[in-house]
Structures are given as structure tokens and as C-alpha cells.
Amino acid sequence: MRIGINIVMRYGELLAVVDFSELDRLLKVATPFVLTDEEQQRVSAIEQKAYEKNLSSIRPILDDLQSKLNERKFWTENQVNTQGLRFRYSLRGFYGPGGFTSQMHVAGLLVLGRIDPTGDQYTGFYTNDLEKNTFIGERYDELAFIRFIEQDLTRYLAPGNQILSTEQSEWIQRLLREK
């Protein structure tokens, strides 16, 4: 469906007028799929309670991850508490930090948001498609959580996230040999 725009001449000027009856019809169709403020608050409370219960699974996974990354000379930040989580890491030679944070999805569920290593170092972003997210509240799945972490690390260590290209690295190595 298209929202109609009527073109009207007024005093020799063209004016565009939106057909709000079509807009109102579309809003009426969408309304049942939009949470009210009360529903949003209730979902948030349910998600928060479930997240707090899931901490007994989440904490040991992140503590183990931190330990293994530190053994490999990564810098890490592991903040996990009842208010949420933020796990960040960085390794020399790669843009960063990378990592993830807990986020309240616009649909109301608690999900993980990825920190873009080439962007803001604190803000995580989730996908708008709810089902493509990793849940850490009521729909928490430990295996999905671990898969998310593996994918996040793989993205971080991808060649496109390395600071130096092959050519740049070779040039620097030649410079170091010659000087």
C-alpha cells in the first residue's frame, strides 16, 4: 500500500498534501504489534529477572573467556552484574576494542549487541530482526551464547580488522631490516 500524496495548487504554488486517512489505516493495522508502555515495563521486568537467574551460566563462560584471551595477550574488560554486561577485548595489530554488551531490544527482549571495533568502543548494536539476536533473558540458550562469542571473536580477528595490510607489513619489515 502507498500513502497518497495529493498535489494542490494554492496561490500559484504547488503544495504536497499527505493523505492521512491511508496513514491512519496503516497505523490501525500495526497497533496490535506495538507494546504499550505497561507491556514494555512488564516484559523488561520479566527479562531482567531471567537475566539475573542466567548469570550463574553467563559469568563462568565470560570468566573462562577472559582467562583464555589474557593468556594470548589480549586486553580484556569483563563487567558482569545484575545491571547488565559488557565484555570487551583488544589485541595489538587489530582495530578495537571489540566485544559485546547487553541491550534491551526495541521489541522488549534482552539481547547481546556487538561492539564495532572500528566504531564506538562502548556501544553495542543489535540487529532489528529480533530472531537474529542472541537472547540473555527469558530465551537464554547457553549454546547460542557460546556460538555468539565464537562468531564475535572470528569477526574481530578477520583480515579486514587488522591494522596493517600485507603490503604495509612487508614494507615495515623491509624498513626494519634495512635500518
pLDDT in tens, 143-158: 999 999 999 999 999 9
Q: What pLDDT is stored for residue 96 in this prediction?
A: 85
Instruction: Classify residue 168: in a domain, yes or no.
Output: no
Rounded Cα distance, 60 and 71, in Å: 17
Residue 56 sits in the same domain as residue 131: yes
Residue 20 sits in the same domain as residue 48: no
* pTM, two decimal places: 0.81
Rounded Cα distance, 79 and 101, in Å: 9
Tally of domains within the chain = 2
Residue 103 sits in the same domain as residue 20: no
Q: What pLDDT is stored for residue 11 in this prediction?
A: 61
Residue 24 sits in the same domain as residue 91: no
For residue 90, which of 165, 162, 159, 172 has the smallest C-alpha distance? 162
Report the b/e string of 122-147 with b at 16+ CB within 10 A: eebebeeeeeebbbbbbebeeeebee
> Given a cut of 90, is residue 56 above it in pLDDT?
yes
Domain boundaries, position 22 = 1-34
Residue 7 sits in the same domain as residue 60: no
Rounded Cα distance, 90 and 97, in Å: 5
